[in-house]
Amino acid sequence: MRQLLVVSDMLSRLCAGVARLGSWLILPLILVIVYDVVTRKIVFIQQWVMNSWLYEYISPTKLQEAEWHLHAMIFLMAYALAYLNSAHVRVDLWREKQSERRRGWVELICILIFALPFCGVLVYEAWQFVMNAYVQGEGSSALTGIPHRWVIKSFLLLGVSLLVLALLATLARLVIFLFGPQALRPEALARLGMVQQPADENARDSAEVQ
């Protein structure tokens, strides 16, 4: 059981590492948005770019598509960590009033019956999505848009795969919390933000830091 907890921590750190890497994409996203806004207001800059060799790389169409792509990449790289930290929205009045063990059972059942099978379908479809774009040489529908759409589409496959790892890490922790040795159950619970009562948020934050 201890090894299972160690493996779950490794998967969690992998998801956190990818999310931190993705967070750096906020900087180019800010730069693209600022540049796009400024050049719309200062027309002579836009005209100069359009008449120079830079237009091939920073045309308005490419910049707008880059904004969409960067938003998607940031979201997909951080989604698994958001689940692990229970940062996504949950609207379930019945569940909020239940004990930690009952919450754990609900989470375990939902992961096994709904989440993992659904993510399995998503992984398969995302792989087909990427391969079709690669084989067909799919690019932007705009003549001056960003080519090689398979690159951005591959982040869908990455994001869903990371979510599967996050679900497996949570599943391992739930097994320890519900069925494992009494000594390990508090450690597993400290890593289960979606199961803890609101009063245990400080313990959850400490566990994530460790």
CA atoms of 123 and 112, how far apart (whole Å): 16
Please check the confidence at residue 190 and state whether its pLDDT lies above 90: yes
Write the CA distances from 21 to 17, 24, 46, 172, integer angstroms.
Answer: 6, 6, 31, 25
Select from 54, 190, 170, 58 the least CA-distant residue to 119: 170
Its pTM stands at 0.87
Could you tell me the two tokens for 38?
């400024």
CA atoms of 131 and 91, how far apart (whole Å): 36
- 198 falls in which pLDDT band (50, 70, 90)? low
Average per-residue pLDDT for the chain: 89
pLDDT tens-place string over residues 84-102: 998 877 777 887 788 999 9
Could you tell me the two tokens for 114?
């709904």
Please check the confidence at residue 47 and state whether its pLDDT lies above 70: yes
Q: What is the DSSP letter of 192?
A: -
Q: What whole-number percentage of the chain has pLDDT above 70?
A: 94
For the chain, the 3-state helix, strand and coil shares in percent, each to the nearest 5, are 80, 0, 20
Using CA atoms of 74, 79, 80, 84 in order, give the dihedral in degrees to the nearest 10.
Answer: 120
Q: Which residues fall within 8 angstroms of residue 161, CB to CB, at 6 or more apart?
A: 123
Residue 201: predicted pLDDT: 47
User: Which residue has better confidence, 108 or 93?
Assistant: 108
pLDDT tens-place string over residues 117-126: 999 999 999 9
Average confidence (pLDDT) over 78-85:
95
